[in-house]
Every structure is written in structure tokens, then in C-alpha cells.
Amino acid sequence: MGRVTGRVCLVTGAARGIGRAIAEALLDEGADVCFADLNGERVAELATENAARAEAAGGRVMSAQVNVTKRDEVRAMMQKVAAEFGRVDVVFNNAGVNRPMNFLDVTEDNWHFIMDINGLGTLIGMQEAAHQMIAQGGGGKIINTASIASRQGFDNVAPYCASKWAVVSLTQSGARDLAKHDITVTGFAPGVVATEMWEEVDRDLMEIGAAQAPGQAMEEFASGILRGRVARPADITGTTTFLASPDSDYMTGQIVMIDGGMTL
């Protein structure tokens, strides 16, 4: 028996990075997993690539193309998973973006882009997950991706920090409102994780003169991490599988920090 055998799990932002690692770790522990992402082509490939992995652990795998800011698409995704796997037990609202900009130059477009995906996308994902879980008779787990940026402010990423503080707040509010349906809401807050997101962050930081070379920002962060290095996606998945498993059933409203001691 795996830690999440028999559980139907859905992960957004699963085309790469942290989301992909979460989804693959759930497969290894026996879950039925839907990889969901704006990049529908890539998640379809990942579903094919992971078919043998799912079979080896006794689970199933599928994919869904979704824009997490579009309610009709998110609802259709929940229905598609329920039609294929029978129900939805665990939903990870993980899709997120970061587009650094100097505080004084932050535009309305930058704010709306980030808040829509990280904030509104999380709210819609929570609501549509909960509607599906309630329709099944209640019970389930919603797990949101926060960040160290939901604990403190950082230079040049004000809207990102605001959006991730929103994720914490939504996690707490959702935990309160959904408790009566036996739905728990938790989250996890990674520190700095080496993913392709950082290529985009580096590009923007260099464009505004806040970094001189790719990798510089990550290196500067690494020097302040008690564990002595930035995280790999695999450093996150022990906790995310735990949050999806029965072992975390008594937890709700909490955000687990996975930052290597960066915020102490």
C-alpha cells in the first residue's frame, strides 16, 4: 500500500517544476493523478510518459488542459477527472507565476496578471474543488501552494508577495468555511526551489538591473539558507504527499514552511 493509494488527486501547474514533482510523487504512492496545466500538450505528454509509473504503483494517470483563472475551464476539469476516475479527493492549487518589477514601476497589468493567476486562480480552484467534493457527499483535501513570499516582503516582487499572502488568507478562510463539509484546506510554503520559473525571474531581474547574470539571485538567497543550498522539487514532495495522505487528516488551515530555515 502506498501513502495515497486509492486517492484521486489533481495537481495544477503540473507541466513542470514543483507541480510535476508533486504529481509524480503522488503516482509513486499509489494515487490516481490528473496532471493539469495551461500547457495542455506538455501535461498530455507527461501522462503518457508516466503511464508505466502509475501502473507499477497501482494507480492511473490522466491530464487536463486548464487556465486556472477561467471558472468554466476549472469546473470542466473537475468534471472530467470525476468522470474518468469516479471522484476527486485531493486538489493541489499549485499553478503560479512571478514577474519581478521594481516597486515604483509596478503596473496595473503586472498586478492583475499575477493576482489573477496566483490569487483568483487559487480561489476558483478551491471553490470548484469544494463544489465537486460536496456533490460527492463531502470530504476531501484542498492544498494550496504558498511561498516564503507569503511570510515576508522581498525586493522587486511586491505583487507576487501580495498574491502569496492572499493564498495564506484563502487557506485560512477556506478551512473555516469548508470544515462543515469535512473538507480540509492546507498549504505549503517553499523557499527557493530550482525550477524553470527562475529563468523567467532572472530575465526580468536583469531587465530592471536588479541582477547582472542568470543564477545570481538564487545564489544570493542560498547564502542565507540554513540547509546550505536552495531546494530541488524533490525536497518538497515528502511534505506534499503527507498533506494529501490520511496522516494529515487532523490538520486544516495551516501552511507548512519548507524553506531550509530561510526565514528564521
Closest by Cα among 192, 150, 142 to 168 = 150
Sequence-separated (6 or more) residues with CB below 8 Å from residue 96: 13, 117, 118, 121, 145, 147, 163
30 vs 119, beta carbon nearer ligand NAD: 119
Choice from 41, 49, 177, 196 touching ligand NAD (CB under 6 A): 196
Buried b / exposed e over 179-215, threshold 16 CB at 10 Å, is eeeebbbbbbbbbbbbbebbeebbebbbeeebbeeee
Distance CA 178, CA 194 (A): 33
From the CB of 222, what's the least distance to ligand NAD, in Å?
A: 11
**Is 122 near ligand NAD (CB under 6 A)?**
no
List the interface residues with ligand NAD, window 61-90 (CB under 6 A). 66-69
Choice from 50, 186, 195, 240 touching ligand NAD (CB under 6 A): 195
Coil, helix or strand at residue 42 = helix
State the CB neighbour count (10 A cutoff) for residue 118. 29
**Is 119 near ligand NAD (CB under 6 A)?**
no
Given the residues 35, 92, 160, 242, select the one marked as catalytic. Answer: 160
From the CB of 69, what's the least distance to ligand NAD, in Å?
A: 5
Distance CA 212, CA 203 (A): 10
**Is 143 near ligand NAD (CB under 6 A)?**
no
**Looking at residue 158, what DSSP letter applies?**
H
Active site residue 250: no
**Is 96 near ligand NAD (CB under 6 A)?**
yes
9 vs 30, beta carbon nearer ligand NAD: 9
Residue numbers annotated as active site: 160
Q: What residues line the site for ligand NAD (CB under 6 A)?
A: 12-13, 15-19, 37-39, 66-69, 94-98, 117, 121, 145, 147, 190, 192-193, 195-197
